[in-house]
Structure 1
Amino acid sequence: CSRWEEEKKEDGVKWTQLEHRGPYFAPLYEPLPDDVQFYYDGKPLKLSLATEEIATFYAKMLDHEYTTKEIFQNNFFNDWRKEMTSQEQKIIKDLDKCDFREIHKYFVDKSEARKALSKEEKQKLKEEADKIQEEYGYCILDGHREKIGNFKTEPPGLFRGRGDHPKMGMLKKRIMPEDVIINCSKDSKIPEPPEGHKWKEVRFDNTVTWLASWTENIQNTLKYIMLNPSSKLKGEKDWQKYEVARRLKDVVHKIRAQYRADWKSKEMKKRQRAVALYFIDKLALRAGNEKEEGETADTVGCCSLRVEHIKLHPKLDGQEHVVEFDFLGKDSIRYYNKVSVEKLVFKNLQLFMKNKDPADDLFDRLNTSILNRHLQSLMDGLSAKVFRTYNASITLQEQLKALTNSEDNVAGKLLSYNRANRAVAILCNHQRSTPKTFEKSMQNLQAKIDAKKQQVEEAQQELKKAEDEFEDTKDAKAEA
């Protein structure tokens, strides 16, 4: 911490010197060999370079579940047709008549060939990657060499999203230097754009920590090149985040007592705020930021829950006052949970839902801004997000205490740590989509388990046989 506390700069200033090479751009498209063809309605069709490149994005995903989803197929085909020549648009009108199998096989074979490279060839590729990392993966920040987190621009491809995202299958366009804003210090060597190109803009903004930025075309959100988590600035930011959560520990009991008292308030807005805060505290729900209607997926957080997102059960599975949540949260990840709540919370929810339609807001007198203003008045720097950090940290600490044995070896302690992290992931509803190799991996693991069981069984049989032989030998000696 002392490292982050030294060299204090004036408010808002993050650095005095910042020098870097700019982003490393995704390599340009290499055309398919002449013997690898795309077929339309059973006939080979030579595609223009831009159309062919986008066809390869879809072809690479043929064995993925995404390409079976109608929304993915429709979004892909609509965006693909936009990039076609007018002649190609006249011919290619139906995705079902498109045959990408030969292109798919080409990339599968290419991937297998890469895996089969000799040790020397793999080492050569590693050295090339290390050279790029050395050149683009570091910056000079206030006289210190710091590692950059993500120094490469994302390659073009098809947007996947998480969960059932409505924009899945849309074309993620190639990022060009003309899209990129560079941020560095005035007295530094400004990074050179690739030959024949220029930057969108060069800034000298020492109040931000990003090195370069651009707007991605799917959701029109800004993407940044940032410092590595191990860097001074990133570490300092994380440290400050956890320090705020540590301060919450000292006042959380007082805040909880207040929101419990507000469940009985005469003001409806106070009751709604108190119940929402209870959910954020107890279930680590995200607050749910307001967004433009129709611009993104229908995702919600605590403050933007609608009546249709919860069901109330006076009794369920042997528990009383059960609330059943079912909604899409951040990144379209489903949040499904049945939780027993306090009687007053349950009664308030019944009141909030009275005479409302399923599409009506559950907390119609509350939004994230109102909630965070209230929290800020209770403690400087407090927001709904801090509760999530606090509860995740407390859960990890309690789980580590319960699961870790000081006598365990490193493997045992690591297992305890991973189990503790899993408890935090469950609390925060952190999920990853099932990998396409999941079933195969499970089959391989089961095969290994079965093989080990067979070995144990055979060893037990051999042991019994050896014991029987030993007893027979003893008996024979005794008789002699």
Structure 2
Amino acid sequence: MSTKPNHLSEKKPLASKLQQNGSSTSNTNKMKTPVVPNKRPMEKSNSSDQSSAKKQKLSVPSSTTKAKPAAGKPSSANTKATKVVSSSFKKANMKNTKQMKKSKFSKSTKVQPGSTDGQRKWTTLVHNGVIFPPPYQPHGIKILYKGKPIDLTPEQEEVATMYAVMKDTDYMQKPKFLENFWNDWRRILGRNHVIQKLDDCDFTPIYEWHQQEKEKKKQMSTEEKKAIKEQKMQQEEKYMWAIVDGVKEKVGNFRVEPPGLFRGRGEHPKMGKLKRRIRPRDITINIGKDAPVPECPIAGESWKEIKHDSTVTWLAFWNDPINPKEFKYVFLAASSSLKGQSDKEKYEKARMLKDYIHNIRAAYTKDFNNKDKDPTKRQIAVATYLIDKLALRAGNEKDEEEADTVGCCTLKVSNVECIPPNMIKFDFLGKDSIRYENTVEVELPVFKAIGQFQAGKGENELLFNALDTSKLNAHLKELMPGLTAKVFRTYNASITLDQQVSCRQLYEETEEGDVAEKVVVYQKANKQVAIICNHQRTVSKTHDSQILRLTERIETAKQELKELKIDLERAKKGKPPLKGADGKQKRNLSPEAIEKKIASANQKIEKYEMDMTTKEDLKTVALGTSKINYLDPRITVAWCKRHEVPIEKIFNKSLLAKFAWAMDVDPEFRF
């Protein structure tokens, strides 16, 4: 794959169609009806002021009080489309009890529990802690060892069941997964257990029992499923909310992940290891000094520690059972005022980089040929260039047992190939073990410098041996307050989207009222961001069936169109239409009515073909990651307003709640 990334040479940063950053959009003044409430952009304020303006004040925790929507009501001048969007937005705040699909449980992070800036985030904090998974209920189904049934203790059976239910997954073909599982399970079995070899075990009885249980759940009536769901909601209700400075806020990941076998992404070296059950004694709670300490839900146990740190926003944390040097946190939900203010500050910082980027680029360009004895300055210059132009992650040092993933600072000599005269081929595993493979043209001094950094080193040695993430970020903070490598990534993603969706030529062939085509334009712009950020996904298992279904619909519609054209010719001659495929006589219609049906059939075919092209085009690209983490939502909201696209066509309910603060942006907003 050979692609030329954003700003990689002195040429225009994007395709020639794109306008320069900061230019106005001709469609702005043509907007007839806003699709989201068009108010004055939110002024920066502290979280308490912002919250009290938008949410209901509470004096005590209440598990029954509904949270008010975070957005104001649309004005009476707004159209039906605006009301639909506003309604979706309210529901997202009031009823969206689930977080985004991938965030049911806390993700691991290396970020330490301490404060990063020492500033107070709240004055009072009340919450009910976390909810634990239910204890294991033994099923008594025996596995076979050398053909004979074997008795297992509940603990041994639980781990065996974790393994048995994965029978149909690809992990069963991975030696590392099997090895890690066997090592952990063998410790639970004990040295003198009759089971001495995994290959002699037959987990089929447990697998078949599991399949039967799944089928029973499928056969449940709607009423039974509803009752179970309501019971679960009642159990979780009190954990869903926190009271921050008297304001009721949604809690994000309040569930402790159940024990299981670690899967990981790619060829993770720890795949198959047992994720042990997390206990209260593992969890540190953070709460207000005068607030009641959450009751420990497991009898006879107690929390690891109780903190009253108002400079952090987490409610609880514990060490990751697979990577103990990492942490899992419980935070407020993405829709909370604290999160919203934090998000806005993040994007404002990336937006501020626009004012510094020219001088930063001039500085690192000057240092490409730095002849100082200290090689660090030159390596910082080249690394900053790559992070700026390719949106690479900085990369962090890791233990030997962690996945062999790298970022810019941890690139090895073998990850980079110099191809004369000035092409560089990158090939490495990035975050989540996703492969980054890209061949790009770079400036000649960068090409020469990388070649010199490689000289005399082995394949597994670091390309930037005089550099690490802390040194790089310390240098970046000298160039702009708060600047880190991640800010470059957010900046690159957001400015690319802004330039792409603001390109007038992209809309020349789009009909004024065709929302579907405008959404495709947005998706294509989003795809460019995903490519820059290397946001990939595996092709969906249902992709082929979806394409087949669309193909069949297109063929059916074309056949209908063919018949309509014949009917039109006959109608013009005063003849009745031919019988349909079912043998029944069709209704006599006037030529004008048939022509309307032909136009409708053509539109249907065009829509199906466009849907199929879009699905094929985006099948390996993950559009959601950049929307959640890297794209300033104000770009999207402003674009929706300018082009009269309902915001829920782009943002799902979770994103509508997460980006409540962005909904009032002016349609002329540019990143």
> TM-score, length-normalised on structure 2?
0.65
Counterpart selection for 2:418 from 302, 307, 312: 312
Task: Tell me how far 1:278 sits from its aligned partner.
Answer: 0.7
The residue aligned with 1:254 is 359
1-structure distance, mates of 2:502, 2:214: 45
Deviates more, 1:408-417 or 1:325-334: 408-417
Question: How far apart are 1:396 and its partner, in Å?
Answer: 2.0
Write out aligned runs for 1:332-347 (5 A).
Answer: 332-347=433-448
Farther off after superposition, 270-279 or 146-155: 270-279
User: Which deviates more from structure 2 when the two are superposed, residues 232-241 or residues 155-164?
Assistant: 232-241
C-alpha change, 1:330 and 1:5, in structure 2 (3 Å) is same
Counterpart for residue 449 of structure 1: 550
Using the alignment, how far apart are the partners of 2:517 and 2:228 within structure 1?
A: 36
Q: Does the 8 Å CA contact 1:37/1:102 hold for their aligned counterparts?
A: yes
Answer yes or no: is the 8 Å Cα contact 1:4–1:232 preserved in 2. Answer: no
User: Cα distance 1:331–1:454, how it changes in 2: closer, same or farther (>3 A)?
Assistant: closer
Pick the aligned partner of 1:217 from 321, 332, 337.
321
For residue 154 of structure 1, report the CA deviation from its aligned partner.
0.5
Deviates more, 1:409-418 or 1:150-159: 409-418
Quote the offset at 1:136 in angstroms. Answer: 0.8
State how 1:315-330 maps to structure 2 within 5 Å: 321-330=422-431
What is the alpha-carbon distance in structure 1 between the residues aligned to residue 167 and residue 456 of structure 2? 48
Following superposition, the deviation at residue 280 of structure 1 comes to 0.2
SS at match of 1:130: helix
Please list the CA deviations of residues 407-449 of structure 1 after superposition, one character each: whole Å capped at 9, or x if unmatched: 3555444444443333222211223456xxx33x123213312
Given the alignment, which residue of 127, 146, 158 partners 2:261? 158
Q: By how many angstroms is 1:365 displaced?
A: 2.0
Which residue of structure 1 lines up, in the alignment, with residue 274 of structure 2? Answer: 171
Matched to 2:358, the amino acid is H
Q: Which moved more, 1:294-303 or 1:153-162?
A: 294-303
Q: Which amino acid aligns with 1:108?
A: Q
Question: Which residue identity does 1:215 align to in structure 2?
Answer: N
Question: 1:356–1:467: structure 2 CA closer, same or farther, 3 Å change rule?
Answer: same
Equivalent in the alignment of 2:338: 233
| Residues 1:117 and 2:220 aligned together | yes
Q: 1:455 to 1:187 in 2, by over 3 A?
A: same
Q: Separation in 2 of the partners of 1:365 and 1:151?
A: 42
Please list, as runs of the form range in 1=range in 2, the aligned pairs for 1:336-415 lying within 5 A after superposition: 336-402=437-503, 407-415=512-520
Q: Secondary structure at the match of 1:459?
A: helix
Identify the range of structure 1 (38-47 vs 21-30) with the bigger mean alpha-carbon deviation.
38-47
Over 3 Å counting, the alpha-carbon distance change for 1:11 and 1:43 in structure 2 is closer
Q: Which residue of 2 aligns with 1:478?
A: none
Amino acid at match of 2:497: L
Over 3 Å counting, the alpha-carbon distance change for 1:70 and 1:259 in structure 2 is same
Matched residue type, 2:336: S
Work out the CA distance in 2 between the residues paired with 1:358 and 1:86.
41
Deviates more, 1:248-257 or 1:364-373: 364-373
Structure 2 CA distance for partners of 1:189 and 1:417, relative to 1, 3 Å: farther
Contact 2:410 2:462 in 1 (8 A): yes
| Equivalent runs, 1:287-302 vs 2, <5 Å | 287-292=394-399, 294-302=400-408
The question of whether the paired residues in 1 share the 8 Å contact of 2:48 and 2:245 is answered with: no
Q: Show the counterpart of 1:425.
A: 530
User: Is the contact made by 1:214 and 1:222 (CA closer than 8 Å) also made in structure 2?
Assistant: yes
Query: C-alpha root-mean-square deviation of aligned residues, in Å?
Result: 2.5
Distance 1:400 1:223, change over 3 A: same
For 1:77 and 1:286, the matched residues in 2 are separated by 35
Out of 22, 42, 46, the residue aligned to residue 5 of structure 1 is 46
Residue 140 in structure 1 maps to residue 243 in structure 2? yes
Aligned residue pair count = 461
Deviation at 1:236, TM superposition (A): 1.8
State the alpha-carbon separation in 2 of the partners of residues 42 and 325 from structure 1: 51
The one-letter code sitting in structure 2 at the alignment partner of 1:246 is R
How much has 1:114 moved relative to structure 2? 2.2
Query: 1:289 touches 1:301 (CA, 8 Å); kept in 2?
Result: yes
Shift of 1:86: 4.8
For the structure 1 residues 95 and 4, does the alpha-carbon distance in structure 2 shift closer, same or farther, using more than 3 Å as the test? farther
> In 2, are the aligned partners of 1:139 and 1:145 still within 8 Å (CA)?
yes
**Is the CA contact (8 Å cut-off) linking 2:406 and 2:428 kept in structure 1?**
yes
Partner of 2:181: 76
Unaligned stretches of 5+ residues in structure 1: 315-319, 476-480
Deviation at 1:377, TM superposition (A): 1.1
2:203 counterpart residue number:
100
**CA shift digits 1:93-140 (9 cap, x unpaired):** 221221122222222332233233222222222222322342111111
| 8 A Cα contact 2:123 2:245, kept in partner | yes
Q: Distance in 2 between matches of 1:409 and 1:418?
A: 15
Question: How many angstroms apart in 2 are the aligned matches of 1:431 and 1:258?
Answer: 33
* 2:133 alignment partner, one of 26, 29, 45: 26
- Name the CA distance, whole Å, in 2 between partners of 1:206 and 1:145: 17
The one-character-per-residue Cα deviations of 1:452-476 (angstroms, maximum 9, x if unpaired) are: 134134324533553565577669x
- Shift in Å at residue 253 of structure 1? 0.9
Counterpart Cα distance in 1 of 2:210 and 2:382: 53
Q: Helix, strand or coil: the match of 1:339?
A: strand
Cα deviation for residue 53 of structure 1 reads 0.4
Q: 1:278 aligns with which of 373, 380, 385?
A: 385
For 2:463 and 2:486, locate their aligned partners in 1 and report how far apart those are by CA, in whole Å. 20
Q: In structure 2, what residue type is equivalent to 1:288? A: G
Q: Tell which deviates more after alignment, 274-283 or 337-346.
A: 337-346
Say if 1:18 and 1:184, in contact at 8 Å, map to a contact too: yes
2: CA distance between counterparts of 1:133 and 1:444?
37
Structure 2 distance, partners of 1:157, 1:345, is 46
- TM-score, normalising length: structure 1: 0.89
User: Secondary structure at 1:355's aligned position in 2?
Assistant: coil
The gaps in structure 2 that reach 5 residues or longer are 1-41, 50-116, 577-671
Kindly tell me: are residues 426 and 153 of structure 1, through their superposed partners in 2, closer, same or farther at Cα, counting changes over 3 Å? same
Checking the alignment, whether the CA contact within 8 Å between 2:47 and 2:337 is kept in structure 1 is no
Q: Secondary structure at the match of 1:290?
A: coil
Match of 2:654 in 1: none
